[in-house]
A = this chain, B = another copy of it.
Amino acid sequence: MIKTPYLLFLGDAPDQLAAKVAIGIKDWRPDNAVGQYRMDGCGADLGLTDMSLVEAKEAGAKTLVIGVANRGGVISKDWKKVLVTALEEGFDLASGLHNLLRDEPDLVAVAKACGRELHDVRIPEIDYPIANGRKRKGKRVLAVGTDCSVGKMYTALCMDAEMKKRGMKSTFRATGQTGILITGDGVPLDAVIADFMAGSVEYLTPDNDDDHWDHIEGQGSLFHVSFSGVTMALIHGGQPDALILAHEPTRAHMRGLPEYQQPSLTALRDTALNLARVANPACQVVGISVNTQHMPDDEARAYLASLETEMGLPATDPFRYGAGKLVDALDAI
């Protein structure tokens, strides 16, 4: 568990896009983001208060989170100075970079001397069990996509936020690096050893109150041949009560696979539901989440309406138009 709240380290990010991890944290856990730390030449701005390490410490920040996905994922010398000082000032460090904090001897030495923790959320920190498949209490929903990167994490976060707004019991369960940094906890599923994938998802979504919903962050796609095994483990480890179909309608081909086309939503529905019912015979497909960011408003609304007619399911872009319809459908289960 990463200690919150965070000071978000933007470093010398060349532009706003490079600060995508920090933006995710600010968007989804604003209470966890007490301020931003920018170095000279930083081209990103979250609109948070710029703070020095001392100021952030006084404001209650516990962890300096590297919120920048820089090219190559390397920890530069300039960054290093700030990170070392942060450890000395009493901050833990958290990072999702390929360049692990624990592989930097100076950071390890200073962290040890100061009694601070280094969190590399890219790799698993515990030994997960093999899945036992036993039915767990509480309810779980998983978004499954026609492709990778179609908005499954945002769908889960939107539904979680809407449920919390309604006073329902709800938890977002992170399975990727950004999700883990947003919530401070989770399973970096794409880095888990094959045999323990489903077990790690069971571990992530344990018994809970009967009226509690886990929103499990989806990964990959059953139709994306590079990552379908990860998706399969999520479906069987998560034993979801409900599936949301996630789609991005403007893709020319599967992400990174120019020879592969996206499946239809009916193919996704039938394939995912068939497999999900192995682990949970009561599983239902309850709605469709469409990432309409590349469509104008009128086109997006028309597309969603036609999908609802065609599929007989509520369809929305939860980030653009709200997750109310999807939560209504979940609440009706």
Residues of chain A having any CB pair with chain B under 8 Å: 71-72, 98, 129-135, 189-195, 197-199, 222-223, 225-233, 236-237, 239, 254, 256-257, 259-260, 263, 271, 274-275, 278-279
Contacts and interface: CB of A to CB of B under 8 A. Distances in A.
Question: How many copies of this chain?
Answer: 2
Contact of A133 (B129, B194, B259, B274): B259
Contacts of A133: 225-226, 254, 257, 259-260
A130 B131 CA distance: 25
27 contacts: A72-B130, A98-B193, A130-B226, A132-B226, A133-B225, A133-B226, A133-B260, A190-B193, A190-B194, A192-B194, A193-B193, A193-B194, A194-B229, A194-B233, A195-B226, A197-B230, A198-B225, A198-B226, A198-B227, A198-B229, A222-B278, A225-B237, A225-B279, A226-B236, A228-B232, A228-B236, A263-B278
Q: Which of A71, A197, A260 has the most CB of B within 10 A?
A: A197
Contacts of A256: 132
A148 B71 CA distance: 32
Contacts of A194: 189-194, 197, 229-230, 233
A68 to B, nearest CB: 16
Q: Which of A198, A225, A274 has the most CB of B within 10 A?
A: A225
B199 A195 contact: no
A72 B193 CA distance: 12
Nearest to A189: B194
Q: Which of A130, A237, A256, A257 has the most CB of B within 10 A?
A: A130
A328 B225 CA distance: 29
Contacts of A190: 193-195
B193 A191 contact: yes
B222 A275 contact: yes
Contact of A195 (B227, B236, B239): B227
Contacts of A257: 132-133
Given A192-B193, A194-B193, A271-B274, A236 B230 contact: no
A229 B131 CA distance: 11
A126 to B, nearest CB: 14
A260 B223 CA distance: 26
A229 B236 contact: yes
B275 A197 contact: no
A199 to B, nearest CB: 7
A135 B133 CA distance: 35
A270 to B, nearest CB: 8
Contacts of A223: 278
Contacts of A191: 193-195
A311 B293 CA distance: 47
